[in-house]
Structure 1
Amino acid sequence: MRRVVITGLGAITPIGQTVADFWRNLVAGKRGIAPITHFDTADFDVKLAGEVQDFDGASLLGKKESKRLDLYCQYGLVAAQEAVAQAGLAAANLDSQRFGVIVGTGIGGMTTFANQVQVLNSKGPKRVSPFFVPMIIPNLLAGNLSIAFQAQGVSETIITACASATNAIGEAFTKIRQNQADVMLTGGSEAAICPMGIAGFQSLGALSTSTDPLKASIPFDAKRHGFVMGEGSGMLILEELTHAEKRGATILAEVVGYGATSDAYHITAPSVGGTGAAAAMEQALTDAQITAAKVGYINAHGTSTVANDKEESAAIIKVFGDQASKVAVSSTKSMTGHLLGAAGGIEAIACVQTLQTGIAHGTMGLGEKDPACPLDYLANEARQVSPQYCLSNSFGFGGHNAVLAFKKWED
């Protein structure tokens, strides 16, 4: 199998609009969860979200271009620009037909869809934007990325709810390993903090109704009661090892394993005992040809819902056995909220940064640990862990489970 390395990262998040800012704030324990400003929440029970503040798509992408792109596409394009720049990719050093794009999104252009329904109802069909369809369909992020960076290889979109970005990275990894591409732009993007998005998850009973940002997204805490919606994008450049070395690229980490399973159990609830999640972790370990004992850090899905945190903890215990309590585990969502289809993108970036720095960020807001969640969640502080391998877990509505295994880069 061909080896696959990471040579570029890009992030737009509620706690930083570059990878450097995102990582610095993660380690510092900064919360990006605050009262919603994107719309008036007077009629909503849900008051908090992890919004990207002061994002200026017009200046970053051009005024004309940004008007033709839903916010989820804008986030994805800007994050991709950072990743491509860090990787040092240019047309001169690439075979464009061996450069592909696989990205994930859970919902796509929901904000545009909801806004244009209002236009239809109030002003009639002739006032609906001619860009409505290309702004809302989920595959247009991949399409726009392919055009922007002249990636003429595979161009696909993965939609597996909250596992979307992790599945996308895993599938991109597979394309390179199987010699179907040399370079892949991958990750996820989401922008669903709008009245329809919040109302839908609120009606489902999935969101926290806390008005205290410090008590809203509290994964693994006994008083957790729902997740907080987040938004943004995380993008990565994956590259075949010898291709990266020939370019003189700086290698950040290596992707070594991928697992994907289905609970086949329930449309929103995880399987009892975390059986599907455990199977995905076991697949990733087998694919990486390592034992669980080699893993020093797990970036948990850690949504702050009662069922997810309990069953994910059970899954980790099932896979790691007596070693489970010795593995450092933390939830990025405690600070960013849940970025849905983009969550796995920024969490993969957190894993790469942990491998590079030897530091794992904490799980903020964890006060009283749930007895059903008995692991070491790095409560409220970052820690020096220096792992050689780490896992990134993502699980989505519909029973989708995706897990990536990363390795510290060693010459």
Structure 2
Amino acid sequence: MKRRVVITGMGVMTSLGHELDTFWNNLMAGKSGVSLVEAFDVSDYPTRIAAEIKDFNPENYMDRKEARKMDRFVQFAVAASHSALKDANLNIETDMDPERAGVYIGSGIGGLGTWEDQHNVLLEKGPKRVSPFFIPMMIANMASGQVSMQTGAKGPNSTAVTACATGTHSIGDSYKLIQRGDAEVMICGGAEATIRPTGMAGFCALRAMSTRNEEPDKASRPFDTGRDGFVMGEGSGILILEELEHARTRGARIYGEVIGYGMSGDAYHMTDPDPAGAARCMAKALKDAGIAPEEVDYINAHGTSTPVGDRSETTAIKSAFGDHAYKLAVSSTKSMTGHLLGAAGGVEAVISGLTLTYGRIAPTINLVDQDPECDLDYVPNVAREANVKIAMSNSFGFGGHNATIILKKYEA
């Protein structure tokens, strides 16, 4: 018997809000979190907009001295994890065996800001002035490491680094750890903080980002004919996954159940997606869940607002779902949150869980002239009431990394 795994807590740190209620209400209102970048001078950049978190104070979530030893992406992970545990009404050190609680938080790029800052120190002041915390602040696994230290979780501890599929791989792998009995609770998701000079410059050089600088709130427009690239976001999305009986015993509130996980590789191209790989990933998740394609009600799409990516995902959905693809509700919440890279899957899993809970589907905003090649129901511009019983969340990353999870409305 496979052990059942449920969601008992969620936490976010995004440009649309730091608290679940604020975040959800802004999504339902179709609000964009995209604006002009304020963190540094972007006047020479082709892209000058992002979904930037402008009012984050790490001292609201952790000790000031500890925060100074963390890169911004780690601070986001710690903050969202504390929020998720509070939401789950769970103290790992007092409410359970800490050795049965693990952490699996990924980051696509890691401590880019720390790397930049310390490289400048090296060039300007020499190697003796580089911080002794440089390496432990920068490395991608430190989100999981610091969260375990902050929460007392002594169980399985790992990190996925699979570009934009990172958050979903982290959740899927955590689901499997609990399912096979290696943990009772997992703190899992993703964190990213790449709105930095090198991060912006690198993606600008790829010509991957939108240059609709005069209309920031309209720049991310998945599946629209006017889309011209993604909009970078930052933040974290964290789930508390828990074995069902463990959750029941302590009287936990349950948002939904994780029932399927799929992963695949395109073996095709470094940056351009292959729809066949994404279709295989969704099919594997359906098989793992033991459900038919027709049972899925909603897909939170990867939907990055790139010309090639949105068409590729649409093709993949039609391949995986056949005629049912036209009966599904599909939306891209990146139209509002921006693309959080390695944190995207975590934030979008939170959205999918809230969709099951509240019976409302977040819209794809800025969809005013739908691409004829993207011909599915993308829930344009306005949130929709819907009794969603099964939701799928897709994440596809550079390198051809694909990850899909399937969530189900909880039934005792």
Shift in Å at residue 289 of structure 1? 0.8
CA deviation vs aligned residue, 1:262-289 (integer Å, no higher than 9, x gap):
0010010001xx1111111111111111
Secondary structure at 2:218 match in 1: coil
Deviation at 1:334, TM superposition (A): 0.2
Q: 3-state SS of the aligned residue for 1:185? A: strand
Q: Is the 8 A contact 2:264 2:281 kept in 1?
A: yes
Distance 1:221 1:167 in 2: 28
Q: Which residue of structure 2 lines up, in the alignment, with residue 334 of structure 1?
A: 335
Aligned equivalent of 1:98, options 88, 93, 100: 100
Which letter maps to 1:124? G
DSSP 3-state at the match of 1:236: strand
Q: Give the secondary-structure state (helix, strand or coil) at the position aligned to 1:61.
A: coil
In structure 1, C-alpha distance between the alignment counterparts of 2:197 and 2:133, rounded to whole Å: 21
| Structure 2: distance between partners of 1:35 and 1:382 | 26
**Alignment check: 8 A CA contact 2:393 2:404 kept:** yes
2:133 to 119, 131, 134: 131
Q: Deviations over 1:207-263 (max 9, x none)?
A: 111111133110000111110000000001000000111111111110000000000
1:58 offset after TM fit, Å?
A: 2.8
Shift of 1:62: 2.3
Name the residue aligned to 1:263: 266
What's the counterpart of residue 291 of structure 1?
Answer: 292
2-structure distance, mates of 1:315, 1:44: 33
Q: 2-side partners of 1:46 and 1:58: how far apart?
A: 31
What's the offset of the Cα at 1:347? 0.2
Query: Superposed, which structure 2 residues align to 1:10-409 within 5 Å?
Result: 10-90=11-91, 91-211=93-213, 212-271=215-274, 274-409=275-410
TM-score using structure 2 length: 0.98
SS in 2 for 1:26: helix
Cα separation, 2, equivalents of 1:22 and 1:303: 19
For 2:349, the aligned partner's letter is A
Distance of 2:221 and 2:284 partners within structure 1 = 29
Partners of 2:403 and 2:330 lie apart in 1 by 17
- The one-character-per-residue Cα deviations of 1:173-201 (angstroms, maximum 9, x if unpaired) are 00000111111010000000000100011
Which range moves more in the overlay, 291-300 or 210-219? 210-219
Stretches of structure 1 that go unaligned for 5 or more consecutive residues are none
**Amino acid paired to 1:251:** I
Distance of 2:152 and 2:63 partners within structure 1: 18
Q: CA RMSD in A?
A: 0.8
Is the contact between residue 328 and residue 385 of structure 1 (CA under 8 Å) also seen in structure 2?
no
Q: Which letter does structure 2 place at the counterpart of 1:133?
A: I
More displaced, 118-127 or 290-299? Answer: 118-127
How far residue 319 of structure 1 moved from its aligned partner, in angstroms, is 1.3
- Partner amino acid, structure 1, of 2:202: G
Query: How many angstroms apart in 2 are the aligned matches of 1:319 and 1:85?
Result: 38
8 Å Cα contact 1:58/1:65 also seen in 2: no
1:151 is paired with a residue whose SS is coil
Tell me if the contact between 1:11 and 1:79 (Cα under 8 Å) persists in the aligned partners: yes
- The answer as to whether partners of 2:8 and 2:253 remain within 8 angstroms in 1 is yes
| TM-score, normalization by structure 1 | 0.98
Letter in 1 for 2:71: D
Secondary structure in 2 matching 1:186: strand
The residue type equivalent to 1:260 in the other structure is M
Name the CA distance, whole Å, in 2 between partners of 1:288 and 1:223: 36
The 2-side partners of 1:385 and 1:290 are apart by 20
Distance in 1, Cα, partners of 2:94 & 2:45: 52
Equivalent residues of 2:7, 2:254 under 8 A apart:
yes
State the 1:97 CA deviation: 1.1
Q: Which runs of 5+ in 2 are unaligned?
A: none
Q: Determine helix, strand or coil for the equivalent of 2:61.
A: helix
The answer (yes or no) to whether the contact 1:58–1:64 under 8 Å persists in 2 is: no
Query: For 1:25, what is the secondary structure of its paired residue?
Result: helix
**Mapped partners of 1:115, 1:92: distance in 2:** 39
Q: Distance in 2 between matches of 1:19 and 1:262?
A: 33
1:329 counterpart SS class: strand
Moved over 6 A (4+): none
Task: Choose 52-61 or 319-328, whichever is displaced more.
Answer: 52-61
Partners of 1:59 and 1:219 in 2: how far apart?
34
2:35–2:217 Cα contact (<8 Å) kept: no
- The residue type paired with residue 292 of structure 2 is T
What letter matches 2:4 in structure 1? Answer: R
